[in-house]
Structure 1
Amino acid sequence: MPFPLETDRLTIAPLAHTHAEAFVAYRRDPEVARYQSWGTDYSLDDATRLIDGQHDGRLPMPGHWLQLAVQDRRSAELLGDLALHRSPDQPDTFEIGMTLAPAAQHRGIAFEAVEALLEFVFEQEHAHRVTAFCDSRNAPVARLLTRLGFRHESTAVEADWFKDEWTTLEGYALLAREREAAAL
């Protein structure tokens, strides 16, 4: 099993039942839920179903997601989570997502966690391409993706009916060769 991933400050491993209460607490925060697919009514039952569906924490099969806990390496406090999706249609292609608890934001944790996940999927899983999408109003995620080397690839104007309104989605992508060139 490839997990846990570790950085100087973080441990990244599949979300477990021990994380459920903290996971639900930040998912219920209106600012955290604002641009995400869930609402502030996210429940412990929702978290339990998500964790139970994780295929024993192995890498996702094509078409499936794996939710990864981002924890403080010293205290084991849950700081947020990453989502990893393997494309069902394209080989060596992944999509990522990220969510942080409010107390963990603006500390470089998202950058550190996503960078570790990117290193893993490009170097260990030999990813060809990694994508990410965000609501056009979510400027912090757009900035994060750009800092990580993603290129803005698409704007789908009012293409997503989301939380009772049309929203615009921004698409980002990073190819293995782009990441390698940036490392030189």
Structure 2
Amino acid sequence: MLKPPYPIETPRLSLRPFTMDDLDELYSFHSRPDVARYLYWDARTRDETRAALETKIGQAELLKDGDALNIAVELRETGALIGDLSLFWRSSEHRQGEIGFVFHPAYHGRGLATEASREILRLGFAGLGLHRIYGRCDARNTASARLMERLGMRREAHFVENEMFKGEWGEELVYAMLQREWSPAA
């Protein structure tokens, strides 16, 4: 079980639960085709974003195997919502989790996603006691692959044409890190 101590502060960011006040800013990047290109959902309408946000609001802690933790990433300097982080508790028996992240393109290239995602790894390893955390991305999504590499995750798999994705055969990369490989100081 994991109930994060919100807000989680980093030098530049505040990580916190989502609220309905986040709708406009979440819609500003969830509605973009370039953001949704490699995600399992298409660019969202305002109503679809509202429905996704309502789900995210109910996912502010991990209580049992199969739960998802969704965290809003806010820029401390301005209070702007810039990202959407997830930690999925995939297996309590095997102590496995999965990381996910979506950031507004206006904030790419500044190390903000890395800074925020390090906190998700910390929550998974130190807070939940996970043994292994993995992340997946479309093989064409070089930005996500580079982010996982910057986090110290290793590429474990490259699945070729492993699933039908948005009307075409997709390829998927899987990155992972073990608890013993994680450094809280990183």
Q: Does 1:170 align with 2:173?
A: yes
Q: TM-score, normalised by structure 2?
A: 0.89
Match of 1:48 in 2: 50
- Alpha-carbon distance between aligned partners in 1 of 2:94 and 2:125, rounded to the nearest angstrom: 13
Distance in 2 separating the partners of 1:90 and 1:46: 34
Identity, % of aligned positions: 35
Q: Which moved more, 1:63-72 or 1:147-156?
A: 63-72
Q: Distance in 2 between matches of 1:62 and 1:21?
A: 31
Q: Hey, what's the Cα distance between the residues in 1 that align with 2:86 and 2:62?
A: 11
Deviation at 1:5, TM superposition (A): 1.4
Moved more, 81-90 or 164-173: 81-90
Unaligned runs of 5+ in 2: none
Within 5 Å, give how 1:65-104 maps onto structure 2.
65-88=68-91, 90-104=93-107
Q: Provide the alpha-carbon RMSD of the alignment.
A: 2.0
CA distance in 2, matches of 1:183, 1:59: 24
Question: Per the alignment, do residues 16 and 53 of structure 1 end up closer, same or farther by CA in structure 2, a change over 3 Å counting?
Answer: same
Secondary structure of the 1:24 match is helix
- Deviation of 1:43 after TM superposition, in Å, equals 2.3
CA distance in structure 2 between the partners assigned to 1:161 and 1:39 by the alignment:
14
TM-score (normalised: structure 1):
0.90
More off after superposition, 45-54 vs 112-121: 45-54
Aligned equivalents of 1:31, 1:56: Cα separation in 2? 26
CA positional deviation for 1:88: 4.1
Q: 2:126 aligns with which of 116, 120, 123?
A: 123
Q: Structure 1 residue 13 and structure 2 residue 30: aligned?
A: no
Distance 1:90 1:172, change over 3 A: farther
Q: Deviations over 1:25-79 (max 9, x none)?
A: 2011121111111112x12322332333343622253223222111011321011
1:96-115 equivalent positions in 2, closer than 5 A: 96-115=99-118
Change (3 A) 1:79 1:160: same
2:158 paired residue number: 155
Describe the SS at the equivalent of 2:119: helix
> Which letter maps to 2:157?
S
Q: Which moved more, 1:50-59 or 1:28-37?
A: 50-59
- Given the superposition, is the C-alpha separation of residues 56 and 31 from structure 1 closer, same or farther in structure 2, using an over 3 Å criterion? closer
Task: Tell whether the 8 Å contact from 1:155 to 1:170 is kept in structure 2 after alignment.
Answer: yes
- How far does residue 183 in structure 1 lie from its aligned partner after superposition? 6.2
Conserved? CA contact 2:31–2:46, under 8 Å = no
The corresponding residue for 1:29 is 32
| 5+ long unaligned stretches in structure 1 | none
Question: In the alignment, is the contact (CA less than 8 A) between 2:15 and 2:71 conserved in 1?
Answer: yes
Q: Secondary structure at the match of 1:86?
A: strand
